Amino acid sequence: MKNLITSWIDIINTVPQYFNANTGILLNTTKGDIFSIIQEEESIVRSLLAPCYGTTLDGNSLIKTKCISINKYPDFQFLLNSINFSITNKSTQNYRIEFTGLTTFEITSDYDGIFTGNTLNNCVMTDITIKKEAWGNYNFNPGDILFLTTYYYDPTLISIVTKLASAKLLETSYITGNPGSSPHAEILRKQGQGLINKLIDDTNGQMLSISRVSRGSNYQAVDYSIDSYGNDITEYSN
């Protein structure tokens, strides 16, 4: 699961009703549920893009970060050069950082377990190292929470899978008592499908930072459609 294109926190950012922004706790769903939805939607995206972009979609050097601050410090961000990334252990992963003291913190990662550290020293984890310079001049307090997410895929791919997985969460949720009827889900799914169609039609390969694969002259891109259950319902012509 480390090679997922997007993270659970991106889904929650898109449909924030599943998240308590004051405590950083999920509501009416679990990370396991969201991971399963991401995998399901991502598998469809990968299969649809494989004829044009191959099967990996890995951006290799496309290392990016995002930081979300809970409680305080809305302007705080980890600078890219303040984090060292493992060359061999690459992953799209979220790290929940909770301060246990003025300088000490505990980090819970999606896949690599729990780590402890402090702002006075480098914090070495399996896939990344947060340098001591990362914390800048901010004064943190016990209970402060940060979410750090690392990515290894093109932002357009992240956006596509995030939109489709968020739509799936809304479609399958009983939070409104009427699953499958969310107008927001319909909008998100159409946006995600629209981006996929644009990537398929982008014969010059300008939208993604990864290269298109070579296709024969008879290959033709076809707009696709999927229903609320993730089934391909495209009407293909022979």
Beta-ladder partners of 149: 66, 94
Beta-ladder partners of 107: 97, 115
CA pair distance 160, 171, nearest whole angstrom: 17
CA pair distance 164, 187, nearest whole angstrom: 10
CA pair distance 28, 119, nearest whole angstrom: 34
**What b/e readout covers 166-184, taking b as 16+ CB neighbours within 10 angstroms?**
bbbbbbebeeeeeeeebee
For residue 155, the number of C-alpha atoms closer than 13 Å in the C-beta half-sphere is: 4
Tokens of 161: 């899978």
Q: The whole model's pTM is what? A: 0.80
Query: Hey, how many other C-beta atoms are within 10 angstroms of the C-beta on 44?
Result: 18
- The domains of the chain are located at 7-57+161-238, 64-151
pLDDT value at residue 195: 94
User: In a 3-state reduction of DSSP, which class is residue 18?
Assistant: helix
CA pair distance 13, 19, nearest whole angstrom: 8
For residue 64, the number of C-alpha atoms closer than 13 Å in the C-beta half-sphere is: 14
Query: Hey, how many other C-beta atoms are within 10 angstroms of the C-beta on 62?
Result: 17
pLDDT value at residue 100: 96
Rounded to 5 degrees, what are φ and ψ at 134?
Answer: -65, -25
pLDDT value at residue 26: 87
CA pair distance 52, 134, nearest whole angstrom: 39
Per-residue pLDDT of the chain (238 residues; tens, 9 = 90+): 678 899 998 998 899 888 887 777 888 889 999 999 999 999 999 999 999 988 888 765 456 677 666 656 666 777 767 888 776 667 788 899 999 999 999 999 999 999 999 999 999 998 889 999 888 888 888 988 888 888 888 889 999 999 999 999 998 875 555 555 578 899 999 999 999 999 999 888 788 878 888 654 444 445 555 554 455 555 544 4
Beta-ladder partners of 69: 146
User: In a 3-state reduction of DSSP, which class is residue 9?
Assistant: helix
pLDDT value at residue 206: 81
CA pair distance 157, 1, nearest whole angstrom: 16
Rounded to 5 degrees, what are φ and ψ at 142?
Answer: -55, 135
